[in-house]
């Protein structure tokens, strides 16, 4: 079936979009509370700079680049789905998944190095916050990868034609995950 004869259901499900925004707004207090607690504890006690000096800034910077690139690929996937080019959308969803996996792979590499050097959540309040915040974020990245994988095959086969708006919803979630990292990166690696 050619894309010129394909009828696209561009009328996105208004309840789906409202639902994803409600879900994302429910996640803001979760991350917000952890970030505020981190800032309050960091301002109220000493020794955090010494602990954070053991973090690998270069890997964190690479992970930032990876997530920002994945935001671009999910936007391009959404544009492909809206245009009826589901093969392109599927390919870009696949690239987004690969970038998410690369992020998690680098994060696992970092964790293994930190654990190897004895930096565990029990090593101090900084490490408790660091592992808690980055671990919670990593779980959200994993959830985004799963959602994008679920959309990937239907996009490649054209079965997503009746629901192209689902790529937009996945993109909204993925952008939220990226925004959270944009807050975590400077707080943990630059402060």
Domain count, the chain: 1
pLDDT tens for the chain, 191 residues long, are: 444 434 444 455 668 888 899 999 999 999 999 999 999 999 988 778 888 889 999 999 999 999 999 999 999 999 999 999 999 999 999 999 999 999 999 999 999 999 999 999 999 899 999 999 999 999 999 999 999 999 998 998 888 888 899 999 999 999 999 999 999 999 999 87
Is there a domain that residue 115 lies in? yes
What pLDDT was estimated at residue 162? 87
Q: What is the Cα–Cα distance from 115 to 93, expressed in whole angstroms?
A: 33
Residues 6+ positions from 144 with CB-CB distance below 8 Å? 100, 170, 173, 174, 177
Is there a domain that residue 6 lies in? no
**8 Å CB contact between 74 and 92:** yes
Whether the full predicted model's pTM is greater than 0.75, yes or no, is yes
Q: What is the Cα–Cα distance from 26 to 89, expressed in whole angstroms?
A: 28
Is there a domain that residue 4 lies in? no
What pLDDT was estimated at residue 11? 52
Residue-number span of the structural domain to which 177 is assigned:
14-190
CATH of the domain at 177: 1.20.120.80
What pLDDT was estimated at residue 44? 85
Closest CA to 75 of 93, 87, 60: 93
Is there a domain that residue 7 lies in? no
Is there a domain that residue 122 lies in? yes
Residues 6+ positions from 149 with CB-CB distance below 8 Å? 97
Is there a domain that residue 33 lies in? yes
What pLDDT was estimated at residue 188? 93
């Amino acid at each position: 079936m050619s894309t010129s004869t394909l009828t696209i259901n561009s009328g996105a499900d208004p309840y789906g979009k409202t639902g994803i925004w409600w879900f994302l707004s429910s996640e803001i207090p979760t991350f917000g509370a952890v970030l505020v607690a981190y800032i309050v504890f960091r301002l109220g006690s000493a020794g955090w700079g010494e602990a954070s000096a053991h973090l690998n800034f270069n890997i964190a910077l690479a992970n930032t680049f990876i997530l920002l690139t994945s935001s671009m690929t999910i936007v391009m996937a959404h544009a492909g789905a809206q245009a009826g080019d589901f093969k392109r959308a599927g390919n870009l969803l696949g690239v987004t998944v690969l970038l998410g996996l690369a992020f998690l792979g680098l994060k696992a590499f970092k964790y293994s190095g930190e654990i190897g050097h004895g930096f565990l959540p029990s090593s101090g309040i900084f490490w408790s916050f660091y592992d808690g915040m980055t671990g919670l974020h990593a779980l959200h990245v994993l959830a985004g990868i799963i959602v994008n994988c679920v959309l990937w095959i239907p996009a490649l086969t054209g079965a997503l034609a009746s629901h192209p708006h689902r790529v937009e919803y996945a993109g909204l979630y993925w952008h939220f995950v990226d925004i959270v990292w944009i807050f975590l990166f400077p707080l943990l690696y630059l402060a």
